[in-house]
Every structure is written in C-alpha cells, then in structure tokens.
Structure 1
Amino acid sequence: MLSESAAAVEATLSDLLPPEGGALEAAMRYGVLQGGKRLRAFLALESAALFRVPRIQALRAAAAVECVHGYSLIHDDLPAMDDDDLRRGKPTVHRAWDEATAILAGDALQTLAFEILASDHGGIDPRIRVRLIQGLAQAAGWHGMVGGQALDIAAETAARPLDLEATTALQALKTGALIIWAAESGAILGRSDPGPLRAYAADLGLAFQIRDDILDVEGDPETAGKRLRKDEAAGKATFVSLLGLDGARARARALVASAGAHLAAYGSAAGNLRLAAGFALDRAA
C-alpha cells in the first residue's frame, strides 16, 4: 500500500529535483530521496483518488508536500534544533556536508515545493493551484509546522513542562498541519468539500505523533535509524510522559477509530485511508 505510492512519488521527485551538479543539488537530492514512509504523499494520492483526480496532478501535490517535509527534517536535524547525526540510519545532511549546505538545501526544497504547485504542468486550474499554494504555505508556516516547532523549542526552557492541552495544540501544528494539507489536497484538486478529510487527518496526525512518542521510549534505535529518548533527556512533555504508556496507547487507538469514522461518507473507496490510520498506530519506525 504505502510502498507503491512511495515508489511513484520517489520517481516523480527524482525527475523534479535538480541533477547532481554541485554540493547544493546533491544535498537536496540526498535530503529528500532517502526513502521513508512517504505518509504525506500517500495521503495526497489516496485523497485525490476519491475524487478521480488525474494521477499526474495528484503526484505534483504529493511531491510538493514531500519537499516541504524533507526541508523540515534537514533543518530539524541541525545543531541549533535537534542536533541529530542520523536520519533513517544515514548521516544527516549537515553531517554529510556542512551546516551551511544543509540550511541552503532545506531552503531550496521549500521553494521547490511551491514551484511545483505553481507550474502549469499537469493542467491544474490556476485557481486550484492558488488554493493549494496558500494552504501549503499556511500549513508549513508560522501558524502551522514552523509555529509548532517554535513552541517546541520554547518548551525546552519553560519553567514547567507543557500540560496535555498545550502539548496537543503544539503537535497539531508541528506534525498535524502538513498531514492535514496532504489529505485535503485531493479534495481541493477534486473541487470537493475537504472538511471530512481535514477531520480525518487531524486525528491521524495526533495518533501518528503519539506513536512517535511511544517509539521514543520503547523503540529500537537501529530500526528507527535515529537517536531515541531525546525528549525524555530534554525534560520535554510528551503524550507518554503525560498519559503513561498505556494511556498513550489508548488515546492513539481512540484517535484512529475517530479518524476512520470521518471517512464514512466515502464508503469502501476510503479503505486505504483507513488502513493508513491503522499503520500510524502499529508502525515500528
């Protein structure tokens, strides 16, 4: 399920990214073509399939969100952020090159995402392109992913750990915003109401983050391909520290059930989206 869409998006990204002419281009490709779950791309493709959107249009939305996600990971790994040496079992971009190249590669991937959406390739109506661009900018920016990251950084030096409500709000921005955009992009391309898909993805995004928090405590670093237990070492609030392992698992199960309920109007056509919610709950990395 995920592997098929991942292969299609990987091929699309490889075509859209610049060839390896120098350090910047090589770092861009390295940062975004290292595999991964491609969950956001999968959501873009599957939501588009619900509305019979041409595959070429859905692939552009999927590639755009993966470029933004790739840029965010490159920047998250920097010493000024999470200071990580490994990503998916390989050296992070700033370790494989240097910090300046990593910053520029992330910047270039972010702008490439909007270039992909702005292009007339694929025959997307210009008005739909503007909606997609505006939505992705909001999901990625100060009132989305970047805003969530800022809250996360501020929490490291706060007088006391965040409570459950604040942690949920933070993760809805940091992790959830891009997941929501990916899921609703298909409805926007299909000129349909994105509301049910937004609600589905909001629950899915929180369940995905809860599973991340669980894996940070009991996961295998080799399987994860990155350093674990960072949040505990930093004294940051997580769903596990706030709810306990059993409580976090129960909360994730409830969110997955809620996510599936939002898809009722699509019937069996949304089967893969329901499976994606289950994947968020059961994944090992």
Structure 2
Amino acid sequence: MSAQLQMFLQQVTARTETQIAQSLEQHTAGAETLFAAMRYAALGPGKRLRPALVYACAQTLRGADFEPASCDAAAAALECIHAYSLVHDDLPAMDDDDLRRGRPTCHIEFDEASAILAGDALQTQAFELLLASSCAAELKLRLLAELAEASGARGMVAGQAIDLDSVDKTLDLAQLENMHRLKTGALIRASARIGALLGGADEGQLAAISRYAEAIGLAFQVQDDILDVTAETATLGKTQGADAARNKPTYVSLLGLDGAREKLLDLHRQALDALAQLPGDSSLLRQLADYIVERSH
C-alpha cells in the first residue's frame, strides 16, 4: 500500500468513526446494552472500504474544490449498513461465526438478541445520518434511493438470501456472480455512486464509476474466496476455511485457485479501464482497486 493511500484511509477512518460516534452519543435510557453493541459493531476494526469509495469518488470529480465534510454523513451511513450486515451475517441462524475482524462477533460479545437489535438499529441509523446531512433536498432523495435499493431485497439482502439457499448446491459462474453482485457488490457500487453524485457526476461519469465499482465489488469477493483458502485465521480476522466447511459455492470451488486468480486480474483490468473514462486525477481509485486485489485480509 502506498503512503498516499495509507494516509487517505487513515483520514477516512477518523472522519467516519467520528461521525458514527457522534451520532450514537445520546442513547435512550434503559437501552445502554443496545448502544454498546451498536458501537462495538460499527466502531471496531475494519477496512472502511465503502466510506473510502465515497470520499475518493467525490474527490476525483471535484478535484481542488473537494470538501471532505460534504461526504461525512454518507460515508458513515454506508459503514453503518455494512456493520449491520456483518452482525446479522454472523448470527447462528445465518453463518454462525464466532470471530469477526479478529475479535468475538457481536452475538458472542453480547448475546444473540442484542446483536439482532444492534443490526436493526444500525440499519435505521444509516438513514438518520443521511437525512440529517446538509446536501440539497433533491440530491438527498437520490442518495437515499441509492442506499435503500442497494441494501434491501433487490440488493444486499437478496444476495444474502441466495447465499444461504446455495449451501450444498452447485452454482454456475453466472449464478455465482449474480449472488455476489448483490451480496457484496451492491453496497460497494452504491458507495461509489453516492460519492460520484456528491462529486457532481454527470450521467457519463456516473456510468464509468458504476462500471469501476461493479468490477472491484466482484474482485473483492474473488479475493475473499482466495484468502479463505490461502490465508491463516490470525491474518484473516475470521475463521479460515469457513466457506469450504459449510460447503458454500465460491470462485475457488468453481474455477480452482489458478482460475480464481485469473478472474481477479481480469476484474482488476476492467476497473482500470473504467477509470480511463473519467476526467481529472483518479489515482486514489486506482490505488483502491490495487489494494482490493492485493490485500492479505
């Protein structure tokens, strides 16, 4: 990772966590455990990739006129949605994981009911954050629509449902890609598109950003599948080999390790090709694409 990207991600993390922490400062009397579980899930260790895409896309299009504060609410909202999805994905009724980001999952640290409620509350917290943002009403409505569609039954939740239904089944490549375009890719795409809209993107720029995000969204999942086979639990921060243990279809199980790595490189090329259609300096987005395919956890 370059020094530029490392500094950028540190700044993104600081801004995003400050925004989320401030939004959770005032808790409801008697619901202290709920708020503690929400903070545990949303402010714990993490890559902050989705917030990073918001800031990077807006900065790419705004250039010298970019103001990070314009992205704070949206970045925090996307991280809240992502955190909620991880809390629910780890539950006994879902993937039944006891380790996430190198520490106990929310339902292990607290209890199952608290984790369910924390996930529910983080989901709605995301929309509260966006509604309270200072952007123009017309733009705010468009951002809310992007977030809602990506998060729900036509996006991430649909992908999770397909994933659960696919255990012990054989999927072809098109079916596997459809699942991951929804489960992982929809929120990544929404993050980039929301950042682009905050950056004043026209329809052509928004289309290029969307192609970029769709490629890195799939690339993220392909690399996850590769790491599930090749990395150690201590490095991953979650249980190594979990997908294979549950007999879940993956890019590695379908294409083999070498085939999955070839797929990863092809998606990386697609992402960089999409960036070539954008004006200005897209080096941050290029570096984020590099990071996604080269990461070790």
Normalised by the length of structure 1, the TM-score is 0.95
Q: Within 5 Å, give how 1:148-187 maps onto structure 2.
A: 148-157=159-168, 160-187=169-196
Matched residue of 1:209: which SS?
Answer: helix
Question: C-alpha separation between the residues in 2 aligned to 1:247 and 1:280?
Answer: 18
Contact 1:19-1:26 at 8 Å conserved across structures:
no
Matched, 1:44 2:54: yes
Contact 2:61-2:280 at 8 Å conserved across structures:
no
- Structure 2 partner of 1:88: 101
Matched residue of 1:235: which SS?
Answer: coil
Shift of 1:173: 0.3
Which stretch shows the higher mean deviation, 83-92 or 53-62? 53-62
Contact 2:76-2:126 at 8 Å conserved across structures:
yes
Question: C-alpha separation between the residues in 1 aligned to 2:192 and 2:121?
Answer: 24
Query: Please, what is the CA RMSD of the aligned residues?
Result: 1.4
Deviations 1:194-225 (A, max 9, x none): 11111000000001100000000011100111
1:31 to 28, 32, 41: 41
Question: C-alpha separation between the residues in 2 aligned to 1:107 and 1:92?
Answer: 16
Q: Percent identity?
A: 46
Matched residue of 2:277: which SS?
Answer: helix
Shift of 1:31: 0.4
Contact 1:19-1:25 at 8 Å conserved across structures:
no
Shift of 1:282: 0.7
Letter in 2 for 1:207: A
Matched residue of 1:51: which SS?
Answer: helix
- Structure 1 partner of 2:140: 129
- Structure 2 partner of 1:16: 23
Deviations 1:173-197 (A, max 9, x none): 0000000000011221233231111
Matched residue of 2:141: which SS?
Answer: helix
Question: C-alpha separation between the residues in 1 aligned to 2:280 and 2:286?
Answer: 9
2:83 to 53, 70, 81: 70
Contact 2:54-2:196 at 8 Å conserved across structures:
no
Q: 1:18 to 1:106 in 2, by over 3 A?
A: farther
Matched residue of 1:237: which SS?
Answer: coil
- Flag structure 2 segments of 5+ consecutive residues without an equivalent: none
Question: C-alpha separation between the residues in 2 aligned to 1:8 and 1:223?
Answer: 26
Question: C-alpha separation between the residues in 2 aligned to 1:251 and 1:235?
Answer: 21
Contact 2:42-2:79 at 8 Å conserved across structures:
yes
Matched, 1:147 2:158: yes
Letter in 2 for 1:270: S
Question: C-alpha separation between the residues in 2 aligned to 1:19 and 1:227?
Answer: 35
- Structure 2 partner of 1:217: 229
- Structure 2 partner of 1:240: 252
2:199 to 190, 196, 199: 190
Displacement over 4 Å in runs of 4+: none
Which stretch shows the higher mean deviation, 45-54 or 229-238? 45-54
Number of equivalences: 281
Matched residue of 2:282: which SS?
Answer: helix
Shift of 1:48: 1.0
Contact 1:179-1:201 at 8 Å conserved across structures:
yes
1:4 to 7, 11, 15: 11
Contact 2:167-2:246 at 8 Å conserved across structures:
yes
1:269 to 277, 281, 287: 281
Deviations 1:32-66 (A, max 9, x none): 10121111110000111123253222111110100
Shift of 1:105: 0.4
